[in-house]
Each structure stands twice: as C-alpha cells, then as structure tokens.
Amino acid sequence: MKNLIKLGAAVLLSLNSMTTNAQSKSSEKDNSLLWEVSGNGLSKPSYITGTFHILCSKDFEIKPKVLKALEKSDNFVMEINYTDPAEMMSLQKMFTADKKISDQLSSDEAKELNTILANYGTDLKSIDSSSPQALYALLSTKAIPCPKTEIKLYEMELLQKAIKDKKSIRGLEKVEDQMKSINKAYDLKSTINQLKMDKEYEILFRQMIEAFKNENVQSLYNLFKDERFMNSQQEKAMLTDRNQNWVKIMPEMMKKEGSFFAVGGSHLMGKNGIIPLLRAKGYTVKPVSGL
C-alpha cells in the first residue's frame, strides 16, 4: 500500500494505549486474544481481537482462528478507518504543531530534550515543528527490538486481507477523536518524561511481546499496571472514555451483520474494558480457542 508508512506512523501513536492499570482477574480459559460476541438479538456472531499494533517479523503471527473469524465476518472494523481519504488527510496533520517545541520550553529544558533526543538519533532542531504525539512515536519506534525494515503492522496485515476479501471497512472513531484523547493524556512535558525511560520501555516491550505471542492475558495485563507508563488520568483519556464511546456504536455494527473488530489489546479487559462493557449490555462474550 502506498500509504503504509503513514498508516504505520498512526499505529505507532496508538501504542501508548497498550498500557493500562486494569485490575481484572483472568483465568486460564480466558487466555485468548480472540473473543466471540453473540446473543442479545444478534442474528450472527461478531468477533473482537486484541492486537499488538507493531511487531518484529520474527515475532509476527496472525493465528488461524483470527483469520477464520475475519473470513466469517461481513465487516472489518479498526480503531480508525485508514481507507477513508478524509481520515488520511487528518492523519497528515497529526504530526505537526502550530507552536514549535522550543517555544514551549525554557533554555535548560530545551538543552535537556536535545540530549535526550540524541538517544533516538535526532535533535530538537530536526523535530521542532512536530507534535508531542510525533515525539511519542520516536519512543515507540525505539522500543521495538528490531530494525525498521523488519517491522510488521498487525492491523495493516488484517486490513489487506479484509480488502482482498472485499469486506466492508469501518472505524470506531475519527483521527480527530483520537488526537483529542492523546492530547488529554500526553502533553509535551509528560511526553518528554516518557522519552527519558527508553530503556524501561525496551524491557517492557520484550515482556509484552512474549505475553502477546502466548495469548497470556493475565501476564500481559500485569505488565501494563506499571504507573510509570500510564497514570489514572491517562488511562481515562486513552482507554476508559474511548471504550465507552466505542461500545455505544458497536451494537449497531453487529445488529444485522457479523463484524470483526481489531483494537489494541489493552482495550479488552479491566472494569471499563470492551468485554465487560458489552456483557453489561446483555451480550454473551466468550474467549475463542479455535474455529
């Protein structure tokens, strides 16, 4: 796809939603990243899969049950519909800011940031017109334990499959909505503080990847509880509020046709996760071990 790099950058920005303070307990039978939604008047089941937005080629695998669930569904629904031209235009605006970063910092803070950015192979002059979210993408990129040439984008692989199979492509929110959430969660200063923890992120990502590959949701969510990476305010902006908004529109998408939802893994569990919120609406939501 011509827009693969731009789409990948947007996916990188969503990585900050891969951390959570979810406190829910999970049994072994719940060790699945694919869930079936049925009941409550649905004529056919829909599916939700938790994704890890970006992986190294050596760690990348879309399990057969996920592909089968997508094949059985009529619609493919991502967090954002990257096939919408209007969304692509909004996406291009996501990485630039009206106010330069250097104008928002003191001289000492600018010098400190320039030193930090050296660890990411760039400097303040090069990224001065970027948004805080673009800065965060630097952190996400560095945390991935392989060269950029070996990166695989989970949602993009599913999207290509869905397009090939002529599925209807839809989104749960707009780029503008996601930007508002990110802005609430991560201002410039908090993003700079995250950039200081590049080594911690690298360790965290390696552990998260192993948990994801094993579909070990309990280990995955235990890792996400570290408040160094997401405080309660950030959790509300990036997870709780968005989950509640999504669950308001998901029923209509599932009512007459089967939909396959692909969202960041952290959106599934926790008191305000998609799964418990759908169950509270009367749906039967159960883990899928195979199809």
Q: What is the pLDDT of residues 273-282, one digit of tens each?
A: 899 999 999 9
CB atoms within 10 A of CB 202: 14
Half-sphere exposure of 98 (CA within 13 A, CB side): 0
Residue the block writes with tokens 């695998």: 61
The answer on pLDDT for 24 being more than 60 is no
Query: Is 144 or 246 the better-scoring residue by pLDDT?
Result: 246
Q: Are 52 and 212 in contact (CB under 8 A)?
A: yes
- Residue among 290, 288, 291, 289 nearest 37 (CA): 288
In one-letter notation, the amino acid at residue 20 is: T
Digit-coded pLDDT (tens) for 190-224: 889 889 988 888 888 888 898 889 887 767 666 76
Which of 91-95, 105-109, 197-201 has the weakest average pLDDT? 91-95
Task: Give the Cα separation of 37 and 53 in Å (integer).
Answer: 22
Helix (H) or strand (E) holding 88: helix 85-93
Give per-residue pLDDT as tens, 242-257.
999 999 999 999 999 9
Question: Is the distance from CB of 84 to CB of 117 less than 8 angstroms?
Answer: no
Is the model's pLDDT at 21 over the cut of 70?
no
**3 state SS of 37:** strand
Q: How confident is the model at residue 170 (pLDDT cuts 50, 70, 90)?
A: very high
pLDDT of residue 265: 84
- What's the average model confidence in pLDDT over 87-97? 81
Instruction: State the burial class of residue 8 (Cβ atoms within 10 Å of its Cβ: 0-12, 13-18, 19+).
Output: buried
Residue 74 has a CB neighbour count (10 Å cut-off) of 15
* Mean pLDDT across 57-84: 95
Question: What percent of the chain has a predicted confidence (pLDDT) above 70?
Answer: 87
* Residue 75: pLDDT over 90: yes
Check: CB of residue 100 under 8 Å from CB of residue 129.
Answer: yes
Q: Residue 35 pLDDT > 80, yes or no?
A: yes
Which one is predicted more confidently, 16 or 55? Answer: 55
pLDDT band at 130 (very low <50, low <70, confident <90, very high): confident
pLDDT of residue 42: 97
Residue 19 has pLDDT above 60, yes or no: no
